[in-house]
């Protein structure tokens, strides 16, 4: 039997994720949205691309959750998107309610699924999903670090005029202004990045990484990024569905790692068929570890706002 992936939210991120996964052909897809006709129309359009891209996967669109029953992975992209001048935290209370409702329903329909959270503010929404679902922490993971790291690697590759494949890097911490693009573990063809790029220029690239989402929002005027986010989701889904055990920077629930407890923060993890199979503790500089704790504190402040509502 083919594996089954549910994507909740048929907006730009959700629909593009559905299209990319359909092209892969390794799982059947259910696309869910509350707007009548939207997921059905997009799913049908994607289905009709099958003969061209060579995919025999099945995909359906629906406004209900019955068709999602028995899903292996639930990807949650639903929620309101950022507008120019809006921080991720501005989205907090509205998206908290949306994610809570979605998780409560999908967890009942697919009690053995892995929850992959995309809705912003990402770290807080992952924490809410864990609370509502009652799932083991290994089966709740957030997509943030893969996207932030992709931006970081893209900018470094541009700077040095090399293939992105030559760039090894990790962005840790919360998905927001306090994220931590690391320098110590970052290398270009095995050469430490600090040997190739002057410190002041490297800091500019790090800041552009932090502002990566906002830069796109500012350019688009109406909407936010979805090509790179959807590609990042697909990499994570592939590592789970195919049990590839990739080591990726993902939002995970920490219980002592990096000196942090009871909190979802972006860290390197091994992703396999059971979800998060291991959390890796990189050796960070004192300043990087301090920045990671500062980022975690920002996440904790967001949770306190949620707890007060």
Which positions are catalytic? 175
First to last CA, the chain: 43
232 near 148, Cβ under 8 Å?
no
> Cα separation of 203 and 198, whole Å?
9
- The H-or-E segment that residue 31 falls in is strand 27-32
Task: Provide the angle, in degrees to the nearest 10, between the axes of the packed helices 12-24 and 38-47.
Answer: 30
Residues 6+ apart with CB under 8 A from 219: none
> Which tokens belong to 144?
């943030």
The CA distance from 124 to 245, in Å, is 25
């Amino acid at each position: 039997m083919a594996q089954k992936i549910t994507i909740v939210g048929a907006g730009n991120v959700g629909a593009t994720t559905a299209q990319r996964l359909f092209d892969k052909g390794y799982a059947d897809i259910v696309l869910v949205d509350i707007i009548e006709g939207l997921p059905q129309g997009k799913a049908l359009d994607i289905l009709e691309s099958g003969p061209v891209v060579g995919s025999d996967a099945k995909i359906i669109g629906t406004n209900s959750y019955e068709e999602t029953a028995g899903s292996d992975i639930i990807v949650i992209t639903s929620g309101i998107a950022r507008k120019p001048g809006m921080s991720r935290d501005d989205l907090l209370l509205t998206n908290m309610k949306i994610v809570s409702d979605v998780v409560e329903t999908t967890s009942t329909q697919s009690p053995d699924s892995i929850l992959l959270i995309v809705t912003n503010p990402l770290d807080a929404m992952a924490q809410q999903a864990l609370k509502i679902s009652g799932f083991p922490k290994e089966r709740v993971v957030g997509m943030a670090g893969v996207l932030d790291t992709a931006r970081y690697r893209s900018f470094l590759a541009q700077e040095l005029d090399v293939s992105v494949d030559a760039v090894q890097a990790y962005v840790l911490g919360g998905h927001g202004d306090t994220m931590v693009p690391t320098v110590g573990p970052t290398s270009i063809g095995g050469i430490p990045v600090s040997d190739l790029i002057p410190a002041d220029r490297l800091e500019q690239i790090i800041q552009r990484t932090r502002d990566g989402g906002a830069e796109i929002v500012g350019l688009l005027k109406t909407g936010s990024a979805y090509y790179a986010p959807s590609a990042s989701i697909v990499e994570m889904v592939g590592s789970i569905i195919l049990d590839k055990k990739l080591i990726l920077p993902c939002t995970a629930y920490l219980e002592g790692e990096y000196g942090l407890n009871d909190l979802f923060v972006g860290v390197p993890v091994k992703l396999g068929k059971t979800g998060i199979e291991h959390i890796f503790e990189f050796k960070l500089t004192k300043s990087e570890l301090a920045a990671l704790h500062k980022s975690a504190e920002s996440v904790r402040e967001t949770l306190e706002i949620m707890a007060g509502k």
